[in-house]
Chains A and B, each alone.
Chain A
Amino acid sequence: MKTIVLVCAGGMSTSLLMNRMNEAAKAAGKDVETTAMSVEAFEKYSGPCDILLLGPQISYRKPQLEALVAPRGIKVAVIDFADYGMMDGASVLDKALAQIGA
């Protein structure tokens, strides 16, 4: 079971993508759970997380979040803006899973 965490400013637009990614994972029979939250909420989040994906609109926060999760060995990536715009859950899911080698 892998966990993908999506973050954006308020956790609103990423929650749309979260639904799409969970649907895509279910359709492909993959054992992946995607969850979405705001950056502020993530800073206190200590639950499971294999990879942290940032909405492109907050890509400027990447260095800071990388520093935060580095001790936990969590990968950090920015979601491709074209995928984000089209809310392409399957594509984001595949790219994320490729990054964590699952």
Chain B
Amino acid sequence: MAFRETITDFMNSKVAPLAQRLGDSKYLRTISQSMMSMLTPLIVGSFAVLLNAFPVSAVSDFIASIGLNTVFSAVYRCTTGAMSLYVVFLMAKNLTEKLKTDEDGTLAGVLALMTFLVLTPTDTLEDGTAVLSFTWLGSQGVFSAMLVGLVVGRIYTFFRQKGWTIKMPSSVPPMVTRVFDSLFPGITISILAILVCRLFNATPFGSLHQCIYSVIQMPLQGLGGTLPAMILTSLLMQLLWFFGIHGSNVISPIVSPIWMAMDAENIAALAAGEAMPNMVGYAFFNIFTFSGTSLALVMLMLASKSKRYRELGKVAAVPILFGIGEPVVFGLPLMLNFDLAVPLITNNAICLAIAGGLTYAGIVAPCVGVSTVFGMPLGFFAMVGGSVSVVVCHLVLQLVVAPLLWMPWFKRVERRELALEAEAAEADAAKA
């Protein structure tokens, strides 16, 4: 068993500290927390688009006939279509509150929003009306928003930590002093924003947003937004789960901004009545790796001859329908269980490959990019995919493919478990 000891040792000495370092990173936690807060506006926006572009034309025609389609378009534009405005605020607020726990980050958020808007190119119509284009407020500006939010949050906290402020005589009321406390970092940040804005105006990019979009966001989406990259990511996540570490929680802050931006691009295309630009995205990943395929394993356990597996199956059955897999991971257990390691690590990847292949072949429609809601039960979870073929593919993967993938490995451990139970029963009989 030296091999197993080596692996366990490797886990304790290398994997756990790495996961801990990632989990400790205040920046990564800020990104993940902020993206999670975005779910509500993103879902509202997605549904507005879905209703306008409803697959059944009777529904979309009715919505148009009562004039709701323009309202829905406005709802979409101010939610998903303006997601960068929310992101920049949340990033600065959350980072400030993480770096300096006794600080209210609201002002940092406001300053970040201000900076972002200063950096966004504005225009003037022929009649003299000043306009702000939505170009950079939606998915295209997300990475710029993240960066601006984090930098402003960091600078703001730096000022507050140093206690740099305009000193007031002690007779000045504390409320007034507090105004000056925030004015100093505010003015400094706005001067920086003006300088950066002017600097990028002088480059061929024209604005910071365009620069970040071309230099960072596009290459990252090209690299991380492909099916092979997604499959690799899922293998890594599942490997962490094998070590008993919440893999999705460790990895998703790194990949979710890329995938969520791609989902937002798909929704934008749907709103504009164009073809989906991205085959994969966060919704695609979540829909086709629902429950880490352990729902299938619970089904096998419920049907098992082993008493312990049936008991565990009952405990795990309801949670797993809602995508909560911890009882299986720790109860069976899957954690550090070498007999089930292969399906645990590879099943998600296989499901993603199958779903990707079917989407590529045009058999399954691409996911329209509506955010999935964790906690929605099996089947319903996939409805945000926006078409019946996505739901069917999700159900077939969960209820047919995944059980087949688990079966041979599960049968092996079940045989051993049954032998153990028979032994225990014999021992009991001998005692009686």
B228 is an interface residue with CB less than 8 A from chain A: no
Do A60 and B245 touch (CB < 8 A)?
Answer: yes
A-contacting residues, B264-318, CB 8 Å: 311-312, 315
How many pairs of residues, A versus B, come closer than 8 Å at their CB atoms?
A: 82
Segment touching B, from A25-33, A83-91, A93-101? A83-91
CB-CB under 8 A for A87 and B244, given A10-B374, A60-B20: no
B160 is an interface residue with CB less than 8 A from chain A: no
Tell me which of B241, B326, B327 has the highest count of chain A C-beta atoms within 10 A of its own C-beta.
Answer: B326
Do A59 and B244 touch (CB < 8 A)?
Answer: yes
Determine which of B29, B244, B248, B326 lies in contact with A13 in the assembled complex, contact meaning CB atoms within 8 Å: B326
A84 to B20, CA, bound (A): 21
A40 to B33, CA, bound (A): 8
Min CB gap A13→B, angstroms: 4
CB-CB under 8 A for A60 and B16, given A10-B374, A86-B315: yes
Q: A12-B324, A55-B246, A61-B23 are in contact. List 9 more A-B contacts (CB 8 A).
A: A12-B374, A16-B327, A43-B98, A56-B330, A57-B245, A60-B245, A85-B312, A85-B329, A85-B330
User: Per-residue 0/1 for A59-102: is the Cβ within 8 Å of any B Cβ (1 yes, 0 no)?
Assistant: 11101100000000000000001101111000000000000000
Segment touching A, from B331-339, B351-359, B402-410, B419-427? B331-339
Interface size classification for chain B: 20 to 34
Min CB gap A98→B, angstroms: 21
Determine which of B101, B241, B331, B375 lies in contact with A85 in the assembled complex, contact meaning CB atoms within 8 Å: B331
B377 is an interface residue with CB less than 8 A from chain A: no
Which secondary structure dominates where chain A touches chain B? helix
- CB closest chain-A residue, reference B308: A86
Do B327 and A58 touch (CB < 8 A)?
Answer: no
Contacts of B331 in A (CB 8 A): 82, 84-87
Do B246 and A58 touch (CB < 8 A)?
Answer: yes
B379 is an interface residue with CB less than 8 A from chain A: no
Contacts of A86 in B (CB 8 A): 311-312, 315, 327, 331
A82 to B327, CA, bound (A): 9
Contacts of A56 in B (CB 8 A): 244, 330, 335
User: Per-residue 0/1 for A27-54: is the Cβ within 8 Å of any B Cβ (1 yes, 0 no)?
Assistant: 0000000000000100100000000000
Contacts of B250 in A (CB 8 A): 60
B19 is an interface residue with CB less than 8 A from chain A: yes
Contacts of A13 in B (CB 8 A): 319, 324, 326-327
Do A87 and B327 touch (CB < 8 A)?
Answer: yes
- CB closest chain-A residue, reference B331: A85
Contacts of A43 in B (CB 8 A): 98, 101
B142 is an interface residue with CB less than 8 A from chain A: no
